[in-house]
Structure 1
Amino acid sequence: MSTTATTAAATGTPSGATGRHRTSSPSRLSSRLPRLPRLSSWSWSSLLYVAPALAFFAVFVLYPIGISVWYSFYDYDGLTVGTPVGWGNYTAVFTDARLRAALLHSLLLLVFYAALPVCAGLLLAGAMSRIRVYGLTVFRAVLFVPQILSSVVVAVAWRNLLADDGAANALLRAVGLGRFTTSWLGDFTTALPSIGVIGAWVEYGLCMVLFLSGIVAIDRSVYEAARLDGAGPVREFLLITVPALRPQISIALILTITFALRNFDLIWNTTRGGPGTSTTVPSLFVYQDAFQNRMLGRASALAVVLTAVILVVVTVVQLALRERNGSGRRTARPGGKVRS
């Protein structure tokens, strides 16, 4: 008997199948399949540690969301029995011209609340990462102060600053630009941009801290290789720092966009949506419909729509800025060249 036949007889494989792909046995296939995790006693005990947080999240987050979705299909004033209206509240949300204008105001505020803070944070973080001066830590803390202040304190301070007799107009008169003085929060033209400037002032500190934490993690050898190639500070910032901060930029945009679309307290404590409706936003209508007009059904529908808009915008930002196989990071070639 030949060696091939002997081997086939010993292994139970036909001699003609030797050297070909063998069919795996059921036991071998089952060993390759992923196994489902088993809830051991350790797993149950670990769930007990997170149970309080899960219960808190379910009671104070999931349950209110579910109730809001339920109320959105009723004509309900919070006191009497609600009347089912189907999609009527959502139809009112999308056909109300005031609500469409309020949504447009929120989209315009994205420029001030998201784009400007991210750009300012990048510039400040890039400058402070290169500057080595005494007291820089204190300077960073001072720049971060607006982020930790109460929104009510910020609103009252800026309301006094931008008043007719406030410091902003006094400064313009002192430098000979008195013709530009105005009631910044009371003028139909300047009210919304003024609210945007306040929001940008609040949010830039958060972006700066995020970007500084990302710059610290960048390999210094990449900058050294770029300098050997003749790159200056601007090229280093644009070609190395900014691409490497893609995750931090994504987080900063998500936080600032969410703040811009759900912003209520800052506008309520400065202009209350005025003058007229020039600074109204959807969250302001949610408050007015729910607690002033006793229209909880429409307020819930508007809140659901606003939540959906925030989720869509955040998802688009995440998809646009996600890293693809490390793209956006620069690595140094052995010869000192910088490549993507």
Structure 2
Amino acid sequence: MTDVLLRQRSEDPVAPRDVVRRSARRTRNWAALVWVAPAFGMYALFVLYPMLQSIQYSFYDWDGIGPAKPAGLDNWKAIFTQPELLHSVEHAFILIVFYSVLPVGLGLVAAALIRELRPGAFSTTARVMLFIPQVLPLVAAGIAWTWMYSSDGLVNQVLRAVGLERHTRAWLGDFTFALPAVGVIGVWVMLGFCTVLLLAGIGKIEPELYEAARLDGAGRVHEFLAVTLPGLRRELVVCTTFTVIAALASFDVIQISTQGGPGYQTMVPGVEIYRLTFLQQHVGQASALAVFLAALVLVIIWPIQRLGRER
């Protein structure tokens, strides 16, 4: 019986073809691994390995030079018990409003308005002006806004010019307005990115959908809600993901403009990690806060990404 089956399989012309296909598939898989291996090696060396080290350091009391002492969960408990660390996380959540909610909302409005403009010099200029902040280095943006927020800066000069001199102040040194003032810088930086991305998304929406909405008697607002918003679901997810990460991981602008001050009013995890590591030599505590921040980003971004999947 076995001899008969072997003879039939050897006479079957499909069997050799299956073997060739499997062999070709294995070759392609190995070729793909060879191409991916260098990039994955660099990623593992400069991202995964430091990440694992940070997780390890988070359970030690270490100054970065001397011997490390086991600290158990003390570094992790400090995140929820020390007011400075807890407030830095709270400030990062507040900045989500300025870095994400406002830029995405205003970007939607700006993209819808620019779409109504006829192609030409004015439309192109509007896009360029909105996108310029995204091109500038954040350090330069922080320095420029620090000048504008100073006592004799542009913001106070404008307030004096319009008769609102009583509202002038040293914005970045005010305990009440320092964090919102930094948030405005985030709105200015992120607005251009969101607007340009959403404009590109609007360009991909079929014009027939807008024509059908107009034939059904839809106005501008209803057309925006019924056609534009559903068509921009993926772009909105990308904008929200990018801006939320920027808010939670903010460092450049705050380090340049306020360094977390006045007091701890603008302290965020990125600046706190820098301060703990390089100024106070609390590497273990900084590592715990860094790992916590990375986990927080993943927890917040995961549901946002699920919203962008096709239904």
Instruction: Judging by fraction of residues, say which structure has more helix.
Output: 2
Gaps of 5+ in 1: 1-34, 326-340
Q: 1:113–1:256: 8 Å Cα contact kept in structure 2?
A: yes
* CA deviation vs aligned residue, 1:19-77 (integer Å, no higher than 9, x gap): xxxxxxxxxxxxxxxx9998623332232222221111111111110110011111111
What is the rounded CA distance, in whole Å, between the counterparts of 2:156 and 2:227 in structure 1?
42
Taking the TM superposition and a 5 Å limit, the aligned residue runs for 1:259-338 are 259-319=246-306, 321-323=307-309, 325=311
Q: Does 1:160 align with 2:147?
A: yes
Q: Secondary structure at the match of 1:164?
A: coil
* CA deviation vs aligned residue, 1:63-99 (integer Å, no higher than 9, x gap): 1101100111111111111111221211122211111
Amino acid at match of 1:290: T
What is the rounded CA distance, in whole Å, between the counterparts of 1:209 and 1:54 in structure 2?
32
* CA deviation vs aligned residue, 1:151-177 (integer Å, no higher than 9, x gap): 110000000011000011111111111
* CA deviation vs aligned residue, 1:91-124 (integer Å, no higher than 9, x gap): 1222111111111111111111100000111011
TM-score, normalised to structure 1, is 0.82
Aligned residues: 290
Q: Does 1:76 align with 2:67?
A: no
Amino acid at match of 2:266: T
Shift of 1:138: 3.0
Shift of 1:306: 0.7
After TM superposition, which residue ranges in structure 1, 4 or more long, deviate above 4 angstroms?
A: 35-39
In structure 1, what is the equivalent of residue 15 of structure 2?
Answer: none
What is the rounded CA distance, in whole Å, between the counterparts of 1:204 and 1:80 in structure 2?
46
Q: Does 1:173 align with 2:135?
A: no
Q: Secondary structure at the match of 1:40?
A: helix
Q: 2:210–2:223: 8 Å Cα contact kept in structure 1?
A: yes
Amino acid at match of 1:101: H
Q: Does 1:65 align with 2:56?
A: no
Taking the TM superposition and a 5 Å limit, the aligned residue runs for 1:189-268 are 189-268=176-255
Could you say if the C-alpha distance between residues 162 and 48 of structure 1 is closer, same or farther in structure 2, counting changes exceeding 3 Å? same
Q: CA RMSD in A?
A: 1.7
Larger radius of gyration: 1
What is the rounded CA distance, in whole Å, between the counterparts of 2:44 and 2:58 in structure 1?
20
Q: 2:106–2:191: 8 Å Cα contact kept in structure 1?
A: yes
Q: 2:75–2:284: 8 Å Cα contact kept in structure 1?
A: yes
What is the rounded CA distance, in whole Å, between the counterparts of 1:306 and 1:289 in structure 2?
14
Q: Does 1:183 align with 2:206?
A: no
Which fold has the larger relative contact order, with Cα–Cα distance below 8 Å and residues 6 or more apart in sequence? 2
Shift of 1:323: 4.7
Which residue of 21, 29, 43 corresponds with 2:29? 43
Q: What fraction of aligned residue pairs are identical, expressed as a percent?
A: 45
Shift of 1:133: 4.5
Gaps of 5+ in 2: 1-20
What is the rounded CA distance, in whole Å, between the counterparts of 1:284 and 1:37 in structure 2?
53
What is the rounded CA distance, in whole Å, between the counterparts of 2:255 and 2:24 in structure 1?
52
Q: 1:75–1:83: 8 Å Cα contact kept in structure 2?
A: yes
In structure 2, what is the equivalent of residue 92 of structure 1?
Answer: 78
TM-score, normalised to structure 2, is 0.89
What is the rounded CA distance, in whole Å, between the counterparts of 1:275 and 1:250 in structure 2?
34
* CA deviation vs aligned residue, 1:265-299 (integer Å, no higher than 9, x gap): 11010011111111111111111111111111110
What is the rounded CA distance, in whole Å, between the counterparts of 2:131 and 2:162 in structure 1?
29
Could you say if the C-alpha distance between residues 73 and 189 of structure 1 is closer, same or farther in structure 2, counting changes exceeding 3 Å? same
